[in-house]
Chain A
Amino acid sequence: MKYIEEFQDPALAERLLGEIRAAVTRPWALMEVCGGQTHTIIRHGIDQLLPDEVELIHGPGCPVCVTPLEVIDKALEIASRPGVVFCSFGDMLRVPGTGRDLFQVRGEGGDVRVVYSPLDALRIARRNPDRQVVFFGIGFETTAPPNAMTVYQARRLGIPNFSLLVSHVRVPPAIEAIMRSPNCRVQGFLAAGHVCSVMGTGEYPELAARHRVPVVVTGFEPLDILEGVRRTVLQLERGEHFVENAYPRAVRPEGNPAARAMLDDVFEVTDRAWRGIGVIPDSGWRLSPRYREFDAEHRFRVSGIDTREPSACRSGEVLQGLLKPHECEAFGTVCTPRSPLGATMVSSEGACAAYYLYRRLDLPSAASRHPEGSPVV
């Protein structure tokens, strides 16, 4: 665990920055796919340290941000029912559905619990056979395997009162959609290292070749990010576009075969809506037919959901790298973490929240004139 300090070494960071500065001859726009990477970039001020020619564009890789409103409304509806224990990772509790969030459901008497592993939810189900226990299964290729494992275990152990509310998403189709967008400015990708640690690198070579775009698998510590940027810039400067693994300590080309086998067994690929973006073909997973009985949507027959999304904010553009958070008129004025317009401001990994929390001092927006964080009493 001493890695954390080592991967933040200022001297090594300066050396990588020097190599990036020396290599750059013209402007390049790179997208870091994952919200965790965005968080590292902003928290450590990496974007301030890179040469002006290198622009980092924040991608759609925040699982909380992209979970569609309709699914959150379904979660709220199920969590409100008597006899239900609704389990979720912590950061989903604050994401607004239509008019309220899971924290409020809990405040109204709903049994909403934060768990650190989906297997904790399964344990709760075993201990409470008279209750229906639902786990909110959201996220990318990183969280999907353990959630799949939980359903697999539920069936194997015969735990009938457990179910999964599924809204899993896959990264490669999102990259494909971004590259096909007529407004796309992205010239290179820092692929999400933890996604590749599960899925391997095999999904990217064809994408890189077809769109002539470098894809560098990148980790999450500051030095990982700088190394990812360095390699992407070198490829771009040389006119190359291939898949590189800059995160070999975690990522093998074949990924994690056991996790992939679990995904293949429990889930099947489906079209999936991304909040703020819309439906992307083949971009999600749902439970395969033989596990349908563990599907919370199927079990609870959630209907009559009145999902309403006013078109006030521009998080969809932020999620696709078409807009920087502070370029939105609402940023820091009507839209803050306290009163978010969009999920990108709610989630701690959302690009808007990262900009608001860490960077509003030097942004030319109203936010710096209205520091919401200042206590008023």
Chain B
Amino acid sequence: MSETTEAPDVLAWTCPLPLRERPRVVMGHGGGGALSAELVRDVFAPAYGGPALSVTGDSATVELGGARLAFSTDSFVVRPLFFPGGSIGHLAVNGTVNDLAMSGARPAYLSCGFILEEGVETGVVRRVAEALGEAARTAGVEVATGDTKVVEAGHGDGVFINTSGIGLVPPGVDLRPQRVVPGDVVIVSGPIGAHGVAVMSVREGLEFGVEIESDCAALAGLVETMLAVTEDLHVLRDPTRGGLAAALNEIAAASGTGVVVLERAVPVPAPVANACAVLGLDPMYVANEGKLVAFVPRAHADAVLAAMRAHPLGREAAVIGEAVADHPGMVVARTGLGGTRVVDLPLGEQLPRIC
């Protein structure tokens, strides 16, 4: 650096080089944010993308033999394997079931691939498998096929699971961000942020004075309840990695509408809000595993909200905003004090701040 000076030397002010290219994969590439999207856009889609490949939605909708099927896959690498409110087994079922449900499908069959690390206790594998079975029975889906691989010690993290699923999309149901129009009401099915904070609390050994349980749950039943009110829901999304902020940004970008969120209307449990405040995280970006966000035509919004609140998984459903014609592709929050701010797509993983 420069020599000691009595006052800052304007001419010496300098800045670092940009990091435009990342020659190696970093954790953020799996964070569900902008880096993940870039990997899909630049590497995967050009390599094997076809007309059926869905790179925006949670699942693809394909036609086969006259039936409309939702088809989805997801891999689960959570650490620790068991956490307050769930386990990797529960996540592996509910994650894929929810991805199918967001297409309006009735999930039917799952595949289940286990990648086990040499040395992991069979008792642990059994507990995970039992949790997975319990979750499948609760969700009303059947595991129809599976696979097991073992990797050498040090090449895995105990248990990894991949699940794929298929389900039938009922006639008349067409859930896509492209159907969103200005005026649509944005509803979230309940308080956000619990899953991410619950996992972090056990993974990092953090204690927040009160145990926070993951919201891990299968949402197909809730979606069915909503579709019973009207088939004319516009889009559903489960805000997992990247949280509510990522889900809303994806819908805004894919629909070409703007989204306005009333910050004080977004339900955040007090323990989650407090934990996030301590860690410097924004609950809007924290992962959920049992919540959905819905864009509903204004005419149906009250009835859909009432139906959601009558369902056990939607008791605390709330209207949090609306789709607007302004600022297309962007999500804007009205703050509690009356200001506004942009709610951006997260870049990668959220990082706890230094102080």
Q: Which residues of A contact B (CB under 8 A)?
A: 1-2, 4-5, 8, 10, 13, 36, 42-49, 63-64, 68-70, 89-94, 96-101, 103-104, 106-108, 114, 116, 138-140, 142-143, 177-178, 180-183, 194, 222, 271, 273, 276-281, 308-317, 320, 334-335, 337-343, 348-349, 356-362, 371-377
Does B344 have its Cβ within 8 Å of any Cβ on chain A?
A: yes
CB proximity of B344 to chain A, nearest CB, Å: 4
Q: Interface readout for B275-289 with A: 1 if CB under 8 Å, 0 if not?
A: 001011000000000
Query: Which of B14, B23, B274, B354 lies in contact with A1, CB distance below 8 A?
Result: B274
Q: Is the CB of B347 within 8 A of A276?
A: no
Does B6 have its Cβ within 8 Å of any Cβ on chain A?
A: yes
A-B contact pairs, 18 of them (CB 8 A): A43-B335, A90-B354, A91-B352, A99-B17, A103-B26, A107-B24, A138-B354, A140-B355, A177-B8, A309-B17, A316-B10, A316-B12, A320-B8, A358-B341, A361-B330, A361-B332, A362-B340, A374-B330
Q: Is the CB of A107 within 8 A of B26?
A: yes
What are the nearest 8 A-B pairs in CB distance?
A45-B339, A316-B13, A90-B351, A358-B341, A313-B15, A273-B1, A309-B14, A107-B24
CA–CA, A1 to B167, complex, Å?
A: 44
B-chain residues with CB within 8 Å of residue A358 when the two chains form the complex? 341-342
Given contacts A341-B15, A341-B18, A374-B249, contact A361 B327 (CB under 8 A): yes
CB proximity of A192 to chain B, nearest CB, Å: 10
CB proximity of A280 to chain B, nearest CB, Å: 7
CB proximity of A167 to chain B, nearest CB, Å: 12
Residue among B24, B253, B280, B335 with the highest chain A CB neighbour number at 10 A: B335
CA–CA, A364 to B335, complex, Å?
A: 21
Query: Which of B17, B253, B270, B345 lies in contact with A98, CB distance below 8 A?
Result: B17
B-chain residues with CB within 8 Å of residue A311 when the two chains form the complex? 13-15
Q: Is the CB of B347 within 8 A of A342?
A: no
B-chain residues with CB within 8 Å of residue A343 when the two chains form the complex? 15-16
Does B310 have its Cβ within 8 Å of any Cβ on chain A?
A: no
Q: Is the CB of B341 within 8 A of A278?
A: no
CA–CA, A348 to B354, complex, Å?
A: 10
A-chain residues with CB within 8 Å of residue B2 when the two chains form the complex? 273, 278-279
Q: Interface readout for B314-334 with A: 1 if CB under 8 Å, 0 if not?
A: 000000000000010110100
CA–CA, A372 to B204, complex, Å?
A: 31
Q: Is the CB of A181 within 8 A of B7?
A: yes
Q: Which residue of A lies closest to B345 (CB)?
A: A373
A-chain residues with CB within 8 Å of residue B16 when the two chains form the complex? 69, 96-98, 309, 340-343
Interface residues of B in 192-233 (CB under 8 A from A): 204, 206, 209
Query: Which of A46, A69, A375 lies in contact with B339, CB distance below 8 A?
Result: A46
Q: Is the CB of B18 within 8 A of A334?
A: yes
Q: Is the CB of A339 within 8 A of B277?
A: no
Does B27 have its Cβ within 8 Å of any Cβ on chain A?
A: yes
**Interface residues on chain B, number (Cβ under 8 Å):** 69
Q: Is the CB of B354 within 8 A of A103?
A: no
Given contacts A44-B339, A359-B342, contact A377 B55 (CB under 8 A): yes
Q: Interface readout for B250-287 with A: 1 if CB under 8 Å, 0 if not?
A: 10111000000000000000100110010110000000
CA–CA, A193 to B279, complex, Å?
A: 17
Does B38 have its Cβ within 8 Å of any Cβ on chain A?
A: yes
CA–CA, A114 to B204, complex, Å?
A: 10
CB proximity of B157 to chain A, nearest CB, Å: 15
A-chain residues with CB within 8 Å of residue B209 when the two chains form the complex? 1
Query: Which of B18, B344, B351 lies in contact with A339, CB distance below 8 A?
Result: B18
B-chain residues with CB within 8 Å of residue A99 when the two chains form the complex? 17, 19
CA–CA, A267 to B246, complex, Å?
A: 43
Does B300 have its Cβ within 8 Å of any Cβ on chain A?
A: no
CB proximity of A57 to chain B, nearest CB, Å: 15
Q: Is the CB of A375 within 8 A of B253?
A: yes
B-chain residues with CB within 8 Å of residue A116 when the two chains form the complex? 204, 206, 279, 352
A-chain residues with CB within 8 Å of residue B347 when the two chains form the complex? 337-338
Q: Is the CB of B341 within 8 A of A359?
A: yes
B-chain residues with CB within 8 Å of residue A49 when the two chains form the complex? 337-339
Given contacts A44-B339, A96-B18, A101-B19, contact A180 B13 (CB under 8 A): no
Q: Which residue of B lies closest to A334 (CB)?
A: B18
